């Protein structure tokens, strides 16, 4: 049986791992390579690396950090931030990434998702979708590192991106991000119901029970967390052992 994945996320800026609250107030969480190695050892199922200021600073992703991180892990490694062309994607893959997350670049130019999926295959194109609730049962897509409300429904964009070829969705709730009060179950469940690709839920993990809830109630296929793991509040193994005891399939 396919197992549910636990994925630590390295949000990067200026070559350092940082963690913010609702996409602002970042604090330093350490060196990416050291953290990546540690998570690989702890039994993480994947690693996600997001260069969170590449788009807003209008620059390319930090390829040397991607490459150094990739050389030190033996598990799947997804990279995102500032991807605007097939060439950007090719460079990231060439530097050791296995999958590439497309966010603002894909929203502004949906053809990019189709082109990348046709060229590299859907399985390595992740739609990174940042959403915020604007009223009851309505979430909008936010781009440019969560700073711009597009006015477009998250459900509609998720469906469209999947039809264009996105093979997975990294779904971050800006409302719950960094709040540590649990994942956004309503948003995750809603998107998961509307598309047929795996959903990585992100934003809000604060305690071990949150992981059970996001798989059981939120219908997520993977759960992503950052500060919990970076600051050593929980280890990946603790989370997985807990889930296995609660009959959620995990790899141990």
Partner 1 sequence: MIVIIDYGLGNLGSVKNTLNKLGVDSMISKSIDDIKKADALILPGVGSAKQGMKNLKKRGLDKILINEIKKGKPFLGICLGMQLLFSTSEEGNVKCLNVVDGKVKMFSSKLKVPQIGWNEVRIKSLELRVKNLFKNVLDKSSFYFVNSFYCLPDDKSVIVGETEYEINYCSVLLKNNITATQFHPEKSGQIGQQFIKNWIKLI
Residues in contact with partner 1 by the rule CB under 8 A: 1-5, 40, 43, 45, 67, 70-71, 74-77, 93-99, 117-124, 167-168, 196-198, 221-222, 251
**Is the CB of 10 or the CB of 29 nearer to partner 1?**
10
CB of 2 to partner 1, least distance (A): 5
d(C-alpha 157, C-alpha 102), whole Å: 13
Supply 243's token pair.
């889930």
Q: How far is the CB of 249 from partner 1 (least distance, A)?
A: 9
Cβ proximity to partner 1, 26 vs 242, nearer residue: 242
Question: Least distance (Å) from partner 1 to the CB of residue 190?
Answer: 16
Q: What would the 3-class secondary structure string for 115-181 be?
A: HHHHHHCHHHEEEEEEEEEEECCEEEEEECCCCEEEEEEHHHHHHHHHHHCCCEEEEEECCCCCCCC
Nearer to partner 1, 46 or 210 (CB): 46
Q: Which of 45, 51, 130, 221 is catalytic?
A: 130
Active site residue 115: no
Quote the tokens at residue 130. Answer: 């940042």
88 carries an active-site annotation: no
CB of 118 to partner 1, least distance (A): 7
Crossing angle of helices 86-94 and 111-120, in 10° steps, is 40
* 3-class secondary structure, 98: coil
- Minimum CB distance to partner 1 smaller for 23 or for 221: 221
Cα–Cα distance, 6 to 46 (Å, whole number): 7
Active site residues: 11, 130
């Amino acid at each position: 049986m396919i197992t549910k994945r636990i994925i630590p996320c390295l949000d990067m800026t200026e070559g350092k791992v940082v963690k913010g609250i609702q996409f602002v107030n970042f604090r330093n969480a350490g060196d990416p390579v050291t953290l990546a190695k540690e998570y690989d050892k702890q039994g993480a199922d994947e690693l996600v690396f997001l260069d969170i200021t590449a788009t807003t600073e209008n620059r390319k992703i930090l390829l040397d950090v991607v490459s150094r991180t990739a050389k030190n892990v033996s598990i799947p490694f997804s990279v995102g931030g500032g991807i605007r062309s097939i060439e950007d994607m090719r460079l990231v893959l060439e530097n050791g990434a296995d999958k590439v997350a497309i966010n603002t670049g894909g929203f502004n130019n949906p053809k990019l998702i189709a082109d990348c999926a046709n060229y590299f295959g859907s399985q390595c194109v992740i739609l990174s979708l940042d959403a915020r609730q604007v009223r009851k049962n309505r979430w909008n897509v936010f781009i440019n590192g969560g700073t711009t409300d597009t006015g477009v429904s998250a459900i509609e964009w998720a469906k469209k991106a999947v039809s264009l070829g996105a093979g997975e969705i990294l779904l971050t709730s800006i409302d719950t991000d960094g709040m540590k009060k649990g994942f956004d179950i309503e948003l995750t469940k809603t998107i998961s119901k509307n598309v047929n690709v795996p959903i990585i839920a992100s934003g809000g993990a604060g305690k071990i029970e949150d992981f059970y809830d996001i798989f059981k109630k939120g219908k997520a296929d993977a759960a992503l967390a950052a500060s919990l793991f970076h600051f050593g509040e929980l280890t990946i193994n603790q989370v997985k052992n807990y889930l296995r005891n609660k009959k959620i399939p995990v790899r141990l």
